[in-house]
Amino acid sequence: MIHPTAIVHPGARIGAGCRIGPYCVLGEHVVLGDRCLLHSHVVVDGHTTLGCDNEVYPFASLGMKTQDLKWKGGLTRVEIGDRNVFREYVSVHSATADGGVTRVGSDNHFLANTHLAHDVQVGNRVIMSNLATLAGHVIVEDHAIIGGLAAVHQFCRIGRHAMVGGCSKLVQDVAPFMMADGNPAETRFINKVGLERAGFDAEVVAMLAKAYKTLFRSGLTLENALSRLESEWPSSLEVRELVAFIRGSQRGLAR
Catalytically annotated residues: 118-119, 136
> Could you give the CA distance from residue 54 to residue 58 in angstroms, rounded to a whole number?
13
Contact 140, 125 (CB under 8 A): no
**Strand order across the 43-44 sheet:** 7-8, 25-26, 43-44, 61-64, 91-93, 115-116, 133-134, 151-152, 169-170
Measured from the Cβ of residue 69, the count of other Cβ atoms closer than 10 Å reads 6
Listed in sequence order, the residues at least 6 apart from 155 whose beta carbon sits closer than 8 Å to its beta carbon are 135, 136, 137, 138, 250, 251
Q: Per the omega criterion (within 30 degrees of 0), is the bond before 22 cis?
A: no
> Could you give the CA distance from residue 239 to residue 242 in angstroms, rounded to a whole number?
5
> Could you give the CA distance from residue 91 to residue 233 in angstroms, rounded to a whole number?
42
> Could you give the CA distance from residue 145 to residue 161 in angstroms, rounded to a whole number?
7
> Could you give the CA distance from residue 166 to residue 136 in angstroms, rounded to a whole number?
20
Q: What are phi and psi of 141, to 5 degrees?
A: -85, 175
120, amino acid identity: V
